Amino acid sequence: GAVVSQHPSWVICKSGTSVKIECRSLDFQATTMFWYRQFPKQSLMLMATSNEGSKATYEQGVEKDKFLINHASLTLSTLTVTSAHPEDSSFYICSARDPGGTSYNEQFFGPGTRLTVL
Amino acid sequence: EDKVVQSPLSLVVHEGDTVTLNCSYEVTNFRSLLWYKQEKKAPTFLFMLTSSGIEKKSGRLSSILDKKELFSILNITATQTGDSAIYLCAAGGSNYKLTFGKGTLLTVNP
């Protein structure tokens, strides 16, 4: 089956620093990837849709200058949290769509990255 | 705005009980309804439903979709402690997007 990896799985950083999270599709080429954020005991909130070779589409209320998304290749999308603050601490999950798959909405999820900002 | 509502938000049962989890949705250009199970990490896929009235089964889990009434249910029979998790419902619309509900926290006590 389609496999998506994320790196790092957890990260702790100081307030004001930037953190980069990588999302890779390991055995398929993903033209579309998605970034979600999940706070404790809450659901997944879509932050942005990442399209290879073009700008990401951000959901309402998500600051694009704070959460920089780059989808430079068909197997890699990165999310950079710039000038992180404690309120950015969360579980960040990426997913990828396999264009060769049979289901329109099927997404394959990475294992997630837990970010803690001190 | 697309919306998915799950109920109940939490549920505590004893091993062996049967549970029914509910999901209603309002999504523009609806295409499919997905169920996921989430334990400590990212969600794991359970079912994808695209047609009304056709039950999908996997072991003790089953699910069905009603596209006229805009809802789906997930049934778990003979629950086990390993079924304890958050169950997420997501509705798929256009642009390949998924809108997630808040989830149902299921706790199965021995």
pLDDT in tens, B83-92: 999 999 999 9
Residues in B touching A112 (Cβ below 8 Å): 41-42
Cα(B48)–Cα(B51) distance, integer angstroms: 10
pLDDT one-digit tens code per residue, B32-44? 999 999 998 888 9
Q: To the nearest 5 percent, what fractions of chain A are helix, strand and coil?
A: 5, 50, 45
Separation of alpha carbons B14 and A40, rounded Å: 25
Contact flag A109-B43 (C-beta cutoff 8 Å): yes
Whether A31 shows a pLDDT value over 70: the answer reads yes
In chain B, which residues have their Cβ closer than 8 Å to the Cβ of A105?
A: 31-32, 34, 48, 92-93, 96-98
Interface test with A, best of B86, B89, B97, B105 (most A CBs within 10 A): B97
Helix (H, G, I), strand (E, B) or coil at A24: strand
Where is pLDDT greater, at A81 or A98? A81
What is the pLDDT at residue A106? Answer: 87
Contact A2, A54 (CB under 8 A): no
More confident residue, A1 or B100: B100
Q: Which helix (H) or strand (E) holds A31?
A: none
- Work out the average pLDDT over A21-43: 91
Q: What pLDDT, on a 0 to 100 scale, did the predictor assign at position B104? A: 96
Q: Characterize A94-110 residue by residue with b for buried, 16 or more Cβ atoms within 10 angstroms of its Cβ, and e for exposed.
A: bbbbbeeeeeebbbbbb
Tell me the per-residue pLDDT of B70-82, one tens digit each, with 9 for 90 and over: 999 999 999 999 9
Specify the pLDDT at position A72.
82
pLDDT of A1 strictly over 80: no
Measured in degrees and rounded to the nearest 5, phi and psi for residue B95 equal 60, 25
- Domains of chain B (ranges; CATH) run 3-109 (2.60.40.10)
- Asked if B42 and A111 count as a contact pair (C-beta separation under 8 A), the reply is yes
Segment B20-31, tens digit of pLDDT: 999 999 999 999
- One-letter identity of residue B67: K
- A93·B42 Cβ contact <8 A: yes
The chain A residues in contact with chain B (CB within 8 A) are 32, 34, 41-46, 49, 57, 93, 97, 103-107, 109-112
Q: What pLDDT, on the 0 to 100 scale, is given for residue A43? A: 85
